[in-house]
Amino acid sequence: MSSAASTATTTVRESVGILLLSLATAAAAQQHHEATSPPTVLAPGYSALEFPAPIAGSYSLPPLGKAADGQLLDSAGQPVALHSLYDGKVIILSFIYTTCPDVSGCPLATFVLGRVQERLASDERLKDKVRLITVSFDPVNDTPEVMTRYAGSFRRGGFDWQFLTADSEASLDPVLDDYDQWVIRTRDAQGKPSGALSHILRVYLIDEQKNIRNIYSPSFLHPDLLLADIQTVMEQ
């Protein structure tokens, strides 16, 4: 082999060696990143409660104010007043939108209410005295038809869980204001809603006299706590 050919062969081998070393280093770095990246932290409502739930009736939940009325649409597209759904029931009210991507946001609320539904449905003392209500933040995309399909994934047959929306953002906004539920709707270059929403998550416990008795954030939204509070409200 000539000197030039030998030099070229050595150069190719060195280049291949460098490439393989680079690939191995990159793979090792990726494995290290995956091993050291923190896992997704789920809200407490997705797992067992880490402390004993308070004994129902052993504490008080003073009224926090009156729950406001509002004109909305049910999942059949029919007008409905919130107060007409509140009459004679203890209410768990949540505001969500069906395409929310935040696992500790709207999906958490629906998951927890689903667990509450299962517990209530098996309790003869409670199942007919409590109503769950889910209202969409996003009336543009969450039409009554969409809410019907969404409800079908979560509502147990025969259980009283209402899924509501509104005919427009303008008619929904006063309800959101009354419940101190802010939402920021992003829009495209033409000013049309993009479907992405920023909001806070709040879930409300409302008694049979339409008083708000508790407001839950993601940190305290847990089926065990809601059940204890529901029973406490019913005993007071």
Q: What is the pLDDT of residues 130-150, one digit of tens each?
A: 999 999 999 999 999 999 999
The terminus-to-terminus CA distance of the chain in angstroms comes to 98
Same domain, residue pair 63 and 112: yes
The parent domain of residue 17 ranges over 1-37
Q: What is the pLDDT of residues 179-227, one digit of tens each?
A: 999 888 777 777 776 667 888 899 999 999 999 999 999 999 999 999 9
45 inside domain:
no
The answer to whether position 90 is within a domain reads yes
Number of domains the chain is built from:
2
Say what the pLDDT of residue 142 is.
94
DSSP character string of the chain: --HHHHHHHHHHHHHHHHHHHHHHHHHHHHHHHHHHSPPP---GGGS--SSPPPPTTSS------BPP--EEE-TTS-EEEHHHHHTTSEEEEEEE-TT---TTSHHHHHHHHHHHHHHHHT-TTTTTTEEEEEEES-TTTS-HHHHHHHHHTTPPTT--EEEEB-S-HHHHHHHHHHTT--EEEEE-TTS-EEEEEEE---EEEE-TTSBEEEEE-GGG--HHHHHHHHHHHHH-
User: Is residue 30 in a domain?
Assistant: yes
Residues 9 and 89 placed together within one structural domain of the fold: no
Q: What Rg do the C-alpha atoms of the chain give, in angstroms? A: 26
The pLDDT, as a whole number, for residue 44 is: 83
For the chain, the residue count is 236
> Same domain, yes or no, for 107 and 179?
yes
179 shares a domain with 127 = yes
Residues 134 and 192 occupy one common structural domain: yes
Residues 102 and 2 in one domain: no
For residues 226 and 112, what is the distance between their CA atoms, to the nearest angstrom?
9
Whether residue 149 is found in the same domain as residue 180: yes
Confirm whether 44 is domain-assigned: no
Residues 136 and 25 in one domain: no
65 within domain boundaries: yes
Same domain, 64 and 17: no
Q: Are residues 21 and 126 in the same domain?
A: no
- Per-residue confidence (pLDDT) for residue 35, from 0 to 100: 44
Instruction: Please give the distance of CA 29 from its chain centroid, rounded to a whole number.
Output: 35
Q: Based on the fold, state whether residues 31 and 62 are members of the same structural domain.
A: no
pLDDT of residue 1: 52
Answer yes or no: is 153 within a domain: yes
Q: Is residue 42 part of a domain?
A: no
Same domain, 71 and 93: yes
Q: What backbone torsions phi and psi does residue 47 show, to the nearest 5 degrees?
A: -130, 180
CATH code for position 74 = 3.40.30.10
- What mean pLDDT comes out for the span 56-69? 95
Query: Which tokens in the block code for residue 130?
Result: 């409590």
